[in-house]
Amino acid sequence: MSLQGQTAIITGAGSGIGRGTALRAAREGMHVVAVDVRNAEETVKEIVVAGGAATPVSLDVREPEGWRLLVEQTLEAHGSIAFLANVAGVVSLGADTAVEQTDEGWDRVIAINQTGTFYGMRAVMPAMIQSGGGAIVNVASVAGLVGMPNVFSYSASKGAVIAMSRQAATEFAKSGVRVNVICPGIIETPILGDITEELRTHCEAATPMGRLGAPDDIAAMAVQLARPESAFITGQVFPIDGGWTAQ
């Protein structure tokens, strides 16, 4: 396995897409540093029971000092960082339009989705550059590509993730650091909350493949982008949405 023995830092690893990415990276032989604001103990337990290697870390991605310590401790334990997946993200807790969004709601979404991704890249990239390269995958959303209702701040944050990723990809390509973006469609994760059956049916009908995505649909691409076979791919945006944005 080409990723055997390498180290991955994956945020949001306690559930959803982050958990799926952590599990898949571990199956590929990576040592996974499973990061979550609460805890990723269950994810780590599942990895270890399956014979993999993982370490849980509690981190709020809005805290730059926490990122600094995470990278420092990871380098002390493993020597290098080959892969960073910035998955942690939130949607607004209330109405999210250009008229109804509050200052507090805007600040929370931007701080976690956009600034948290920036902090992650800023903390990890110097170590990748020093070791000759690495792969970063930032998870955005189809909401950063097309208009959708009631996701104003979320869409802004995810559009920014796309722009930041492309800029970093071009600036650091010659340093061996590759930066790509995945834009999930509607994925079956806790971020959906307790959606109604009516809304679920609508979302399924609006997706050409006729179903919601699964976390592993996203994880498969994220880990593929970390592999040596993807060495000439950087600065790209990959919608994984069952055909949603092709309509």
Helix (H, G, I), strand (E, B) or coil at 181: strand
Q: Are 186 and 243 a contacting pair, CB within 8 Å? A: no
- 154 annotated active-site: yes
Q: Could you tell me the two tokens for 59?
A: 């981190």
Helix (H, G, I), strand (E, B) or coil at 6: coil
φ, ψ for residue 38, nearest 5 deg: -95, -80
Angle at 238 between CA 150 and CA 141, to 5 degrees: 15
Instruction: Give, rounded to a whole angstrom, the gap between the first and last alpha carbons of the chain.
Output: 37
Alpha helices in the chain (DSSP H): 16-27, 41-49, 64-78, 103-109, 116-131, 152-172, 197-206, 215-224
Angle at 123 between CA 232 and CA 75, to 5 degrees: 90
Reference 12, options 82, 108, 85, 68; nearest CA is 85
Element housing 184 (H / E): strand 177-184
For the packed helices 64-78 and 116-131, what is the interaxial angle rounded to 10 degrees? 30
Given 67, 118, 154, 238, which residue is catalytic?
154
Question: Any idea which residues carry the catalytic annotation?
Answer: 154
